[in-house]
Amino acid sequence: MGSFMTRSGNGDSPIALKRRGALAAIAAGALVVGFDPSSKRWIREAEASGGCGGFPGWGLPQLDGTLHLDLPTRTGDSNDNGLIVQKVPAAVLRPGSTNDVKKMVRFCRQYGIKVSARGQHHTVFGQGLTTGLIIETQTLNTIHSIGPDGAEVDGGVLWKDLLIESLQQGLRPRGLTGYTGLSIGGTLSVGGCPLSNDQGGLADHVQSLTIVTGKGNIVECSDCDHADLFEAALGGLGQCGIITRAKVDLVPALPMARTYLLHHVDNALFFEDLRTLLDRGELDEIYNVCVPPGLAPFVYQINATVFFDPAEPPDDDYLLRELNLPPEAVVVVDQPYLDYALFVDYQIEALRQSVDWDHLVKPWFDVWMPDSTVEPFVGETLANLTPVDVGAGGFVLILCQRRSAMKRPFYRLPDPECGSDWIFLYDILTSSMVPGPDPAFAAQMLDRNRDLFEAARDLGGVRYPIGAMDFSHWDWVAHYGNRWHSFRQRKQKYDPDKILTPGLNIF
């Protein structure tokens, strides 16, 4: 029997279309069309008499995307992954283009409104929060091209999405985060640390960037063009501009990954085997996870991986030769490369299901340590960690890099050492035991983090600023050391009114 109700081309009934139109009208009333500088108040469309024309000089520019003032949207951008700091923004931009970012940065500069770009809000201490304007870069998520010479992507593209798309052409990002559900622009702004050991940071695998500066200018930059901005953007913590597009390196991908899991309980033997594997340079990725077995001591789990074609499998005996751990004690895991690369994503999803991971408080501690002092520092701190220091969804990571391969000047690292080129990113990824805000727990862990940082700094350690720590202006001056003057000059050049990324309290 035929129906007497006609439908639109997309399958919606007239009733559904009418309801959608009503909802759109309600939503439109929540959109922002202007700003009243006398009252420091955004103007909703529903309030504007005759549209933007009712507020001469105050109306917003024409946007490809949308600007939102409704409380649910603003509240959704008031926290980050740590659930420690809360700042409700005055408005939220969902840009439809780089031009939208340019227009709104110019607008905010004119009225002294602070601006923060927000990718996947994976920092844990309000680094990307503001009471001004939040720019959600998730809407800038186009992969423009993929080829042997690299991939051109919007800043809001996730590493996971680039990985999946590039694998279809037999390629993969040259550097890749452990957790791939992060935006490319946000990761490059922090610097990024891949699991590979001698290729440099993620910021070292960038060919060019499109940046909106704090002046509201769109600048195409690279090592050859506007190199001062290029350097300041890669690891510069969003202080000089917002990355809206990037061209990153790709390399050929092998189909399989073999991971050797080596378990140690002795700090010295662990570091001896870790350094042996690193110095040989025969494996593609080596990192360590320390997970408490329920009672002390921690177990060090070296994850040592080699990528291969099934027609030419790795020689296990050769790769595992002359270690403190006998070959028969090593667990060997083969899996498709994609499953290997998404392993941490799978683990985080499991934690979401088992312990409500997204709603746990996460006062993380993150520091780069030089080779000469990392072993005693890790040994002592691990020995003193309690179950509360780890939490329901917490764990400890040690990532390893050749310092000489990390070239970006504002990605701060330990000073070079004569005896070794290795540096180690030591992460205590603490979480609360139960979901929900816990100010007392957060305060306790912030004190712990400060104590640990001061001990690490005395041993040549440098903060990796994704974690939770009270950091003063003078801490930042010391952090940048002899590069502080240059960093401050670039801030003055590209963000003279200091409106960008205020959550770090650098300037």
Predicted local distance difference test score (pLDDT) of residue 52? 37
Per CATH, is 140-252+482-504 categorized as 3.40.50.10190? Answer: no
Alpha-carbon distance of 193 to 249, in angstroms, equals 15
Tokens of 264: 């140690």
Q: What is the pLDDT along the chain (507 residues), one digit of tens a residue?
A: 333 222 333 444 433 433 444 333 334 445 666 777 667 677 776 665 443 333 334 578 899 999 998 999 999 999 999 999 999 999 999 999 999 999 999 999 999 999 999 999 899 999 999 999 999 999 999 999 999 999 999 999 999 999 999 999 999 999 899 999 999 999 999 999 999 999 999 999 999 999 999 999 999 999 999 999 999 999 999 999 999 999 999 999 999 999 999 999 999 999 999 999 999 999 999 999 997 766 567 899 999 999 999 999 999 999 999 999 999 999 999 999 999 999 999 999 999 999 999 999 999 999 999 999 999 999 999 999 998 999 999 999 999 999 999 999 999 999 999 989 999 999 999 999 999 999 999 999 999 999 999 999 999 999 999 999 999 999 999 999 999 999 999 999 999 999 999 999 999
8-state DSSP, 64: S
Bridge partners of 212, per DSSP, are: 218, 242
Query: Are the beta carbons of 426 and 420 closer than 8 angstroms?
Result: no
Domain ranges of the chain: 36-138, 140-252+482-504, 256-464
Query: Are the beta carbons of 155 and 137 closer than 8 angstroms?
Result: yes
Alpha-carbon distance of 2 to 8, in angstroms, equals 16
Alpha-carbon distance of 413 to 405, in angstroms, equals 12
Tokens of 295: 């009672």
Bridge partners of 258, per DSSP, are: 306, 334
In this structure, which CATH number among 3.40.50.2300, 3.40.30.10, 3.40.50.10330, 3.40.462.10 belongs to the domain 256-464? 3.40.462.10
Instruction: Work out the end-to-end distance of the chain between its first and last CA atoms, rounded to an integer number of angstroms.
Output: 71
pTM of the model: 0.90
State the CATH class of domain 36-138.
alpha beta
Alpha-carbon distance of 501 to 130, in angstroms, equals 8
